[in-house]
A and B are shown apart, each in its own frame.
Chain A
Amino acid sequence: MTGYIARRLTFAVVLVFAVSSASLMLARFAPGDYVTESLGVNARRAAVDAARARYGLNRTFGEQYRDWLVGALHLDFGRSMQYDRPVADLIPERAVNTGILAFSALAVATLIGLPLGVVTGTRRRGIVPAAIRAASLVLLSMPPLLTSLFLVFVAAKSGWLPVGGMTSSGGEGLLRHMIVPVAALALPLVAMFERLQSQAMSETIGQPYVVATFGRGVPLSRVIWRDALKNALRPIASIYGLVVGTLLSGSFAVETVTAWPGLGQLMLGALRARDVYLVAGCAAAGSVFLAIGTLMSDAALAMVDPRTAD
């Protein structure tokens, strides 16, 4: 197991290095740079040249990358051009905001999606399982952008919830502001977990050992929730970490529509502005989360099915 974790950790380090380096390179070589964006088309060339020199954009990519790598080894990821602040300061404060959304959405999706999957996986007929399956298909087919726009619209028209932001200056708290973005992120996950769990559950309860347990007169609910559920968790466990990683990397659409100041919104702004160090920093943070998620996924899978760690 130790060797297994060491292998996964090595992979994670390589992943973070590759993703952040590639994003720095792509942001740098994409047409235009921060200076063209911020000074606009009507800037004098002397002003453009001076600004490029100030931001270090007049250096070769090799020089820029070398300095960035040296800094990154000391946890100095450069300075954001847009915000004129160290990237290492900006990312944690936004990552916390994204983390609040991500873990809340995950908790909601797990607490609702798994039981619903068990219900639909063990009951093939009936109005309730059919309705759950239909709702899941609808939610799965709706992109998060559309879901968040719809929920923001409902919040605005009903007046039940605040529209956008993380807190209100009027004193409305975090909890009420979280409802719309968490729901926008959680609803497709609920559907995904329900579908996966349903499929796994229906396969598991057809297994001979489950049928034999029924045959011994053990109550149905006990067989399902105690014996079958653990074995049916494998598909969920295999994607759980990836879902965590993806959510923590930032949900661009949801954060933008709901004005949630998270990592996704930060990276989107950085990409638009060609703020190269911030892009690289956000990508590094996203890949760290993805690596942690993958690691968690692998560990969970190893616990559910120890053969996978071999």
Chain B
Amino acid sequence: MRLFVAALLLLAAGCRSSTSSDSSFNKGSASTRGGELTASIRTEPRNFARLGPREATTDLVATLTQASLIRINRVTDDVEPWLAESWTRSADGRQYTIKLRPNVRFSDGHPLSADDVLFSFEAAYAAGWADSLQVDGKPLKVAVIDPLTVMLTFPVPFAPGLRILDNMIVLPRHKLQDILKKGALQTAWGLSTPPSELAGLGPFVLSEYQPGQRLVFVRNPQYWRRDNSGAQLPYLDRITLDVVPEQSTELLRLESGQSDTTASEMPADAYASLKRGADAGTLRLFDLGPGLYPDFLSFNLKPDAFAGDPRASWLQRDELRRAISLAVDRRAFADTVFLGAGVPVFGPVSPANKRWYWAGTPKIPHDPAQAKRLLASIGITDEHPARFTILTQKGRPTFERGVAVIRDELKKIGITVDVAALEGNAVIQQIVSGRYDAVYFNFFLSDTDPALSADFWLSSGSEHFWNLEQKTPATDWEGRIDELIRAQAVASDDAERKRMFDKVQEIFVEHHPMIYFVAPRIFVGSSTRLGNVMPAVSRPQLLWSPDTLTVTH
């Protein structure tokens, strides 16, 4: 498969500019043009635009029906021009002048203009879900220069630049302006909205929604993108998303040919079935390598969380977390939890994040004797045993198996673990309120670039899992991470940014606020008739570029 060049970078007169060089791909032949793809989704979307909180199915609907100024290629992780045809950057790195593609129309025929871009920013900030569109806690400023040009000003220089716009869809002002004025944008385009009232710039339009059953999308006749031979995209006539809540039923539908693929990865225990199908030539199996965001064990490191608790002397110590990391056999963990389909991980960035992974991440050995010595140094011995509770989400087999392995491994070094499995939202409430000892959990960061997931790294961040939203850094090492993250977010040299972020990972691994054990391998299956597939490790693995997909029919 031939992947593509994303943007041409020019340096001229103190400005950096980028012009569009459209993605290339294996173009669909006449025999593969048209046809219908059927995929299964586990849940229904929350609305028909991405106007509310992020959620996988809502994001997929937006991917099918909407478009943004730029796109992050999920395979190369590069920024590609999308509705923005080209842009230039000012010398100080704060201002971007963006040229929109000419002759682009919404699915209802209304032409796209710079006013729609301005409106989309206003809408995103008004809807209250635009945390990811802020830099240094401040919104971006947008000005219309002419009908096809906008100027975007960042509050401070920002190294990822327009990458920040990947999640911002361009909305039709003519459809939503009145709704925004009424203050009703947050509930606009809900599931009861007739498809005829929707309009977007994506490759498909919603034609039918059957609650609890399916969403049907048909080709957007106004879609702006063309392949290298000038043929209008998308290749497919129709995409159907069937709601199948049960994962085992999803797999059976795929095996029986009633579905072409799934919107998200399959669990490790589906591998054998998919492999049998692939060997028999009835299915295609994509092994996409380790996932981006492994499950983790995190301790409550809020300074006053254990005031008056006799365990306070050891429960928040680095030595305890290092001992746990040494005590757990990661290979056995991968075998038990992911049936062998996992890769040991030792730091906060998975090897799947090729651009930002620190190659020097130390490989922590399985060494229970050293773990016991570390525990003894903080007063945990056979005479003074340790006991704490790990909170996890019930109904998630990998969580339940993972915690069981940790419990058994820690028992060998004299630590007793009590497991409390709760519903997902109950776990979240406990975490947010700070009422827990330790938690085994998972969450996805908003981007692979550390500057775009600063809320996780910065001590003041809402995603700083082990001690949320600190006023001042609780520890010196968190203060040092803050400095490095802030510095790399404004650095203009990519190599310098990488060096700084490597240092962040080094500090993180030294203090282990979150302990990572194994990243599961990501598997996705598809029917053999699916073509032009560009599989990516992040969701939706096969559907992230729906306009170039083909089916033989």
Tell me how many residues of A have a C-beta within 8 Å of chain B: 57
* B423 and A30 contact, CB distance less than 8 A: yes
Q: How long is the Cα–Cα vector from A97 to B211 in the complex, in angstroms? A: 11
How distant is the Cα of A47 from the Cα of B131 in the complex, in angstroms? 9
Task: Tell me the nearest residue of chain A to B431, going by C-beta.
Answer: A41
CA distance A37 to B424 in the complex (A): 7
B244 A31 Cβ-Cβ under 8 A: no
Q: B462: CB under 8 A from chain A?
A: yes
Instruction: Name the segment of A115-123, A153-161, A204-212 touching the other chain.
Output: A153-161
B245:A43 contact, CB within 8 angstroms: no
Quick one: which of A54, A163, A272 contacts B423, CB cutoff 8 A? A272
Our pick among A43, A54, A262 for the contact of B186 (Cβ within 8 Å) is: A54
Provide the residues of chain B in CB contact with A165, threshold 8 Å.
213-214, 242-244
Task: Give A168 to B216 CA distance when docked, in angstroms.
Answer: 11
**Which of B53, B216, B425 is within 8 Å of A274, CB to CB?**
B425
Chain B residues within 8 Å of A113, by CB: none
Q: List A contacts of B243 (CB < 8 A).
A: 165, 259, 261
Tell me whether A149 and B248 are in contact (CB under 8 A).
yes
Closest chain B residue to A257 by CB distance?
Answer: B246
Determine if A104 is an interface residue (Cβ-Cβ < 8 Å).
Answer: no
B455 at the interface (CB under 8 A from A): yes
Q: Is A76 an interface residue (CB 8 A)?
A: no
Interface 9-residue window, one of A63-71, A83-91, A184-192: A83-91
Q: How many residues belonging to B are interface residues under a CB distance threshold of 8 Å?
A: 57
Give the contacts of B193-225 with A (CB-CB under 8 A): 210-214, 216
Q: Mark A25-64, 1 if CB is under 8 A from B, else 0.
A: 0000011111011111111110110110010000000000
| Interface status of A300 (Cβ within 8 A of chain B) | no
Q: Mark A66-109, 1 if CB is under 8 A from B, else 0.
A: 00000000000000001111000110011001000000000000
CB distance from A154 to the nearest CB of B (A): 10
In the complex, what distance in Å separates the CA atom of A157 from the CA atom of B463?
A: 45
Closest to A94 in B: B212
Question: Which B9-49 residues have a C-beta within 8 angstroms of A?
Answer: 36, 38, 43-44, 46-47
* Contact (Cβ within 8 A) B441 A44: no
Flag if A32 contacts B242 (CB, 8 Å): no
Give the A-B contact count at a CB cut-off of 8 A: 155
A-chain residues with CB within 8 Å of residue B55 when the two chains form the complex = 38
Given contacts A31-B429, A54-B186, A83-B191, contact A153 B252 (CB under 8 A): yes
Find out whether the CB atom of A44 lies under 8 angstroms from the CB atom of B465.
Answer: no
Known interface pairs A164-B253, A261-B212; A42-B129 also in contact (CB < 8 Å): no
Which of B256, B427, B428 contacts A156 (CB under 8 A)?
A: B256
Query: Are B425 and A169 interface neighbours, CB within 8 A?
Result: no
- In the assembled complex, A266 has its CB within 8 A of some CB on chain B: yes
List of A residues within 8 angstroms of B443 by Cβ: 40-42
Inter-chain CA distance A152–B244, complex, in Å, is 13
B428 touches A36 (CB 8 A): yes
Contact B36 A259 (CB under 8 A): no
What is the bound-complex CA distance between A43 and B129, given in angstroms? 9
Q: Are A36 and B212 in contact (CB under 8 A)?
A: no
In the complex, A172 Cα to B430 Cα: how many Å? Answer: 46
Residues of A within 8 A of B426 (CB): 30-32
Residues of A near B469 (CB, < 8 A) are: 45
Asked whether, in the complex, the Cβ of B244 is within 8 Å of the Cβ of A42, the reply is no
**Contact call A42/B424, Cβ cutoff below 8 A:** no
Which A-chain residue is minimally distant from B243 (CB atoms)? A259
Query: Is A42 touching B455 in the complex (CB atoms < 8 A)?
Result: yes
Do A93 and B53 touch across chains, with their CB atoms under 8 A apart?
A: no
CB distance from B71 to the nearest CB of A (A): 23
Least distance between B302 CB and chain A CB atoms (Å): 14
B245, A169: Cβ atoms under 8 Å?
no
Determine the chain A residues whose CB is within 8 A of the CB of B211 once the complex forms. 83, 90, 93-94, 261
Say whether A84 contacts B213, CB under 8 Å: no
Residue interface mask B255-273, A partner, CB < 8 A = 1:
1111000000000000000
A34: B residues at CB distance < 8 A: 425
Q: Is B192 an interface residue (CB 8 A)?
A: yes
Q: Which chain A residues border B43 with CB–CB below 8 Å?
A: 269
Cβ–Cβ contact A166 & B186, under 8 A: no
Partner of B53, one of A43, A89, A149, A167: A43
A89 nearest CB neighbor, chain B only:
B192
Q: Within the assembled complex, what's the spacing in Å between the Cα atoms of A97 and B55?
A: 27
Pairwise interchain contact A32-B252, C-beta atoms closer than 8 A: no
Residue of A157, A168, A262 near B256 (CB, 8 A) is A157
B249 at the interface (CB under 8 A from A): yes
Residue of B nearest to A84 (CB): B190
B131 / chain A contacts, CB cutoff of 8 Å: 44, 47
Whether a CB of chain A sits under 8 angstroms from the CB of B240 is: yes
Instruction: Give Cα distance in the complex from A162 to B253, angstroms.
Output: 8
Given A32-B426, A37-B428, A169-B216, CB of A259 within 8 Å of CB of B252: no
The 3 closest A-B pairs by CB, nearest first: A261-B212, A32-B425, A31-B426
For this complex, 27 residue pairs linking A to B, each with C-beta atoms less than 8 Å apart, are A30-B426, A31-B423, A32-B425, A33-B425, A34-B425, A36-B425, A37-B428, A38-B46, A40-B428, A41-B428, A41-B443, A42-B443, A43-B53, A43-B462, A47-B131, A54-B186, A83-B44, A93-B211, A152-B248, A153-B252, A156-B256, A157-B256, A164-B244, A167-B210, A169-B240, A256-B246, A257-B246
Q: A41-B432, A51-B53, A152-B252 are in contact. List 6 more A-B contacts (CB 8 A).
A: A31-B429, A36-B428, A38-B55, A40-B53, A44-B131, A164-B253
